[in-house]
Structure 1
Amino acid sequence: MNIDFHVHGILSKKLKFDPELFLQGIEYAKENGLDGFILCEHFNAVDLKSAYSYLKDNYIYQGDRYIVNGFSIFIGMEVDIRYGGHVIVSGNRESILKIREELEPNIKKDNFIFFEKLLDLGEKYNCLMIGSHPYRENHKLYLQPEKLLKRLDALDLNTKDIYKRGLDIVEREVNELSKTLNIPYVTGSDSHYPVQLGTVKTCFKNECYTIKDLKENIKNKAYEIKISKCLKLKVYTSKITKNYIKRKKKEERELNKNN
């Protein structure tokens, strides 16, 4: 079972959820060898709840994932933490909504949740917790206390970082941190636009239907990692297209205001 652990279904956290683009992303993911992903919108995205309501209203939920045209979608959030860093928290749908409610006081930068408190929340609801792009500029998760980092289930080997800094550098950093903390690392495309899907895959030997399945297989390192040789081209194409669409949507909003 091939999984991407870091996918955004919304083009930008300031924009609305687009079901048509989302479904195109599913088909693109399938064509590029993925069997499932974690949908982890930014926890402070303006249309976060619409994405999850859409899934609930239209698709079967089995285990801890939605089945969308034969494709598995686990849900979660990417959460900003105090003093720098992002953490992906994934669990069953009830748990994720409860955690989002508890994060309501922590939406703005000045009030981001403390890392330890987020870990406590994730453990309370038996969530999978992944340290996103731990060495990214302005989001240096690796600077958080080691005793807290060790409570994560995994680290994120991230497509955007590979694109910007090179696979050798990024994987060496993540691998060294993984060894220091004694936790594995998995892959995340960090996609906001479908073209980026399939650039990285975590290929499990077993099928995973629940968060418990994911956690156990990650802990046992029952997987291998695959990186697309077309990664740079796909990320570049995704970036250009995403920026173009965002600019067009902004122009449309400004035009509507003036009419």
Structure 2
Amino acid sequence: MIIDFHSHVKISKKSRFMPDYFREMMYEAKQNGLTALALTEHFNTIRFFDIYAFLNEQYKYVDGFYDIDGLKLFPGVEVDVQEVGHILLIGDRKEVCSIREQLTDFKEEDRFIAFDLLMDLADQYSLIKIGAHPFRDSTPLARNVSKVQLQRLDALDLNGKDLYAKGVETCQQEVKELADEIGLPVVGGSDTHQFLQYGSIVNEFEYDCSNSNELMQAILQKKYQLKVSDQLALKVKSATIVKKYMKKYMQEVDTVSL
């Protein structure tokens, strides 16, 4: 199984969910060799539940994933915390939607949920808890919460965007050093909003997983390898450029329609 643990299906938080764009993203993910994705859309994106309404209507849910024409799509969400940082939560669709509903009052920047409170909430479910891009300049989770707090996570995210922005060796080293210090595994996520970024970093598992519990066991047992693409810079830069112009175009269209 080849999986990306950090992916989006909307261009931005303010953009609407577009089924045709979703289908294109899934097709291109498979074209890039992926057999599985964790759908970690932002918890405060507009009309978050439109995504799951579409998935429930259009695709079969098997055990712990949506079957997207042969690609496994594991439900998830990306949550901002008060201290400034992002957490990926991955699990069963009912649990992901339930925890998102409980975060309704925490969607605004001045009301983001505290890290410990989010961990308490997530611990009530069977969710994988991943510290997203822990050293990103804009959301440096690792610098804003203590190492004891970080140990409540299940893994850290080696992020495609950060690998590109900081340099592969620098980014890998700082995440690995922290992970070793606090005793957490590292998993990879492209953090893509645009399909050209797929494959920039992947996790090659030794066997298939069908739910978050199986994923967690494979991670803990280190039954996988992280692979960073030789084409990472091209993939991330091209996706960033395309995303920029897609956002601009969509804003212009929305303005005209008003």
TM-score, normalization: structure 2? Answer: 0.98
Answering whether residue 9 of structure 2 is matched by residue 6 of structure 1, we say no
CA distance in 2, matches of 1:14, 1:253: 11
2:148 corresponds in structure 1 to 147
Shift of 1:234: 1.1
| 3-state SS of 2:119 partner | helix
| 3-state SS of 1:212 partner | helix
| 3-state SS of 2:6 partner | strand
1:255 corresponds in structure 2 to 256
Q: Is contact 1:133-1:155 (8 Å) kept?
A: yes
TM-score, normalization: structure 1? Answer: 0.97
1:48 corresponds in structure 2 to 48
- Runs of 4+ displaced beyond 3 Å: none
Aligned CA RMSD, in angstroms, stands at 0.8
1:170 corresponds in structure 2 to 171
| 3-state SS of 1:157 partner | strand
2:92 corresponds in structure 1 to 92
1:210 corresponds in structure 2 to 211
1:222 corresponds in structure 2 to 223
| 3-state SS of 1:203 partner | strand
Q: Is contact 1:156-1:187 (8 Å) kept?
A: yes
Q: How many residues align?
A: 257
- Letter paired with 1:56: N
CA distance in 2, matches of 1:120, 1:108: 20
CA distance in 2, matches of 1:242, 1:140: 23
CA distance in 2, matches of 1:167, 1:236: 14
| 3-state SS of 2:123 partner | helix
Q: Is contact 1:160-1:190 (8 Å) kept?
A: yes
CA distance in 2, matches of 1:164, 1:82: 24
Seq. identity, %? 38
Shift of 1:206: 1.3
CA distance in 1, matches of 2:90, 2:122: 8
1:201 corresponds in structure 2 to 202
- Letter paired with 1:146: K
Q: Is contact 1:13-1:47 (8 Å) kept?
A: no
CA distance in 2, matches of 1:45, 1:254: 19
Shift of 1:256: 2.5
Shift of 1:152: 0.7
1:80 corresponds in structure 2 to 80
| 3-state SS of 1:151 partner | coil
Gaps of 5+ in 2: none
- Letter paired with 1:252: V
1:22 corresponds in structure 2 to 22
Q: Is contact 1:15-1:47 (8 Å) kept?
A: no
